[in-house]
Every structure is written in C-alpha cells, then in structure tokens.
Homo-oligomer: A and B are copies of this chain.
Amino acid sequence: MASIKDVAKRANVSTATVSRVLRNAGNVTEETKQRVLEAIEALNYQPNVLGRYLRRMETETVLVVVPDITNPFFSKVLRGIEAVALEHGYQVLLGDTQNDAQLEEQYLNVLPQRQVDGMIFLTARIRKELMEEMARQFPIVLACEYLEGTDIPTVSIDNISSARKATEHLIHLGHRRIAHLSGPMDVILGRDRLRGYYQALAQHGIDADPALVQEGDFSYESGYNMTLKLLALEEPPTAIFAANDEMAIGAIKAIRHRGGRVPDDVAVVGFDDIQMASIFEPAVTTIAQPTFEIGQKAMELLLQLIEGNEVSRRQLVLPDHLVIRESCGGKCSV
C-alpha cells in the first residue's frame, strides 16, 4: 500500500505539500498540485485515515447505541441520524445492546478510548452518576429516552402526556376497565407511559386495578402472553393500552386466539406508529412519534457538542400525536 511518502517521492515534493493538496488547504501552485494528483492517481493512493485520526485526535465518527436493532422504530430514528451525519461528513457506527444494560455500559468506554467523537443513546439504563460523569467530559446525547434530573442533552417526546392522551381516548370511548401492557420498569420510558396511564385514570375518577397492569419487554411475545393472562381474569378488561405497537399487535392476536374480536370485545391502542401498525388488520390506533426528526435533532445537538459550541436548548421535547385507526373502535377525538 502506497503511503503519503511514496506519493511525495514520486511527485518530487515533501509530504507536507501532498497533505496540503489532499486537504485542499494552504497555498499550492496549480502545477505542483497537478503533479501530486498525478502521483496519487498513478500509485492508486488512498490516505490511511488512522494516521489522520491519531494526529487530529478525532475520527468524525459517532456511535449510536440501540437497545434492539430489530425494532423498526429505532431504524427510523437511525435514518434521521444518518441523514444529518452524512451531510456533515460523519460516519455512523451502530451498537446493538440486545437489551443488555451491561453491554450498554461497555459501549460507554468507546468514548474515552477516542474511538468516536460522540455518542447518541437510544436507551438509558446506565447508572445516572456514571452517565453524568461521562457526559461532562464527552459529547453525549440521549434520544427517545432520558435520565431524570440531569441536564444531559436529550431529544424526545413527552411520554407521560402522550400515554395519558392514549388512555383518555379509550376513556372517552366509554371504557372503564382499561389494562396497560407496560414496558420494562427499569427503563424510564416504561415508567413514564405507565404514569401517564395512571394519570388519565385518576383524572376521570377511575380506580386503578393492579391486576390490569402487566409488565412486558416491548416484544410481540410478551404482549401476547400478558394479554392471555388479562383475558383469564375474572373480570377481564374491555380495553388495552400497550406501551408499544409490537405488544399491541401481540395483544390483538391473543384476543383473537381466545375468540374475541378487536375492537368489538376489546379495544387496543399501541405506541410508536411503526409501519406495521397501519398495515395490520385491524389497523392499530397509536401514538405517532416524529422518529426521523428525533434522529435529526439528536444528531444536530451532538454536532454542536462535538464542535464545542455552547448549547442553550439542551432538552428538546418534540410533538407527537394520536393516530386513530380501527383497533380502538371509535373516531371520538380527544
């Protein structure tokens, strides 16, 4: 492999000049520039980026840590991140934690090792103190999730209010026995959506029945299994609010397998508005998050941090909205 020295030798210039041509910086005569370009061409030279990285101490790469790469919701956020990254000449590295909090903490080490210039976490199971300490030293942005009581830059929706909105919709449709398939309680997102659910019940004077809240893990299977449990109750729910669409679809399937109809016997509402929510039959009523935009904003924020700019608006809350489809059985708007 040809190195910058070989090019310099062949073009009869110093490595400094070659570097100047490469970076298109400094003053280089058109003539020498041509000579260098010819040498580059002739040797089929490609600059070794490792050398540059080391010297400049930046890699123009960011790492995105995703809890589950098979979840289409995250792929869409990722697309937003990629779009902005590409535009600014940054590469996107992807870390899949497979929902393992420990793996997540490991990814954090990539930063002090200087392997990437910054990180975006689409998950937040890391101990708060550790995360804060890192965020103080390195560019870190949280997206979708957040950590309570920190000022780590964050882009997300207001999960509590949207969960409330979803639950209220079911209440307005006349439901009183509303179950909730929650996300894992060790992620803030799961807790927030549960909180929104409770708030809606309380505001409408409905007593919360602990038996109607089941903790899942955002997977189709967990939605399916928990719904079977709910249906086995002496007094089963007439509506189910699932903390994401995959669990909602799992719920619908379970209801059907038990011979019930959706929405006639049990109404279902999901969360995220993944593509399948609109394709599935019945189409799933859900909360639509501005996924692409979340990704964009998160990457923009990260770029600010990397460039050392002072960021005034560190916490962004983007608008979401309820998309009413068939699975809830009513067009009543909130």
Given the known A-B contacts A220-B279, A249-B279, are A114 and B49 also in contact in the complex, defined by CB atoms under 8 Å?
A: yes
Chain B residues near A161 (CB, 8 Å)? Answer: none
| Interface residues on chain A, number (Cβ under 8 Å) | 39
Residue among B49, B53, B112 making CB contact with A1, cutoff 8 Å:
B112
A47 at the interface (CB under 8 A from B): yes
Chain B residues near A35 (CB, 8 Å)? Answer: none
Query: Judging by beta carbons under 8 Å apart, are A50 and B279 in contact?
Result: no
Alpha-carbon distance A114/B75, docked complex (angstroms): 27
Residue among B50, B59, B92 making CB contact with A57, cutoff 8 Å:
B50
Chain A positions 242-287 with a Cβ under 8 Å from a chain B Cβ: 249, 253, 256, 275-276, 279-281
User: How many copies of the polypeptide does the oligomer hold?
Assistant: 2
Alpha-carbon distance A113/B53, docked complex (angstroms): 11
Chain B residues near A92 (CB, 8 Å)? Answer: 94
Alpha-carbon distance A114/B48, docked complex (angstroms): 6
Chain B residues near A50 (CB, 8 Å)? Answer: 50, 53-54, 57, 59, 114-115
Chain B residues near A46 (CB, 8 Å)? Answer: 109, 112-113
Query: Judging by beta carbons under 8 Å apart, are A113 and B48 in contact?
Result: yes
List the interface of chain A (C-beta within 8 A of B).
1, 46-51, 53-54, 57, 59, 69-70, 72, 75-76, 78-79, 82, 91-94, 96, 98, 109, 112-115, 220, 249, 253, 256, 275-276, 279-281
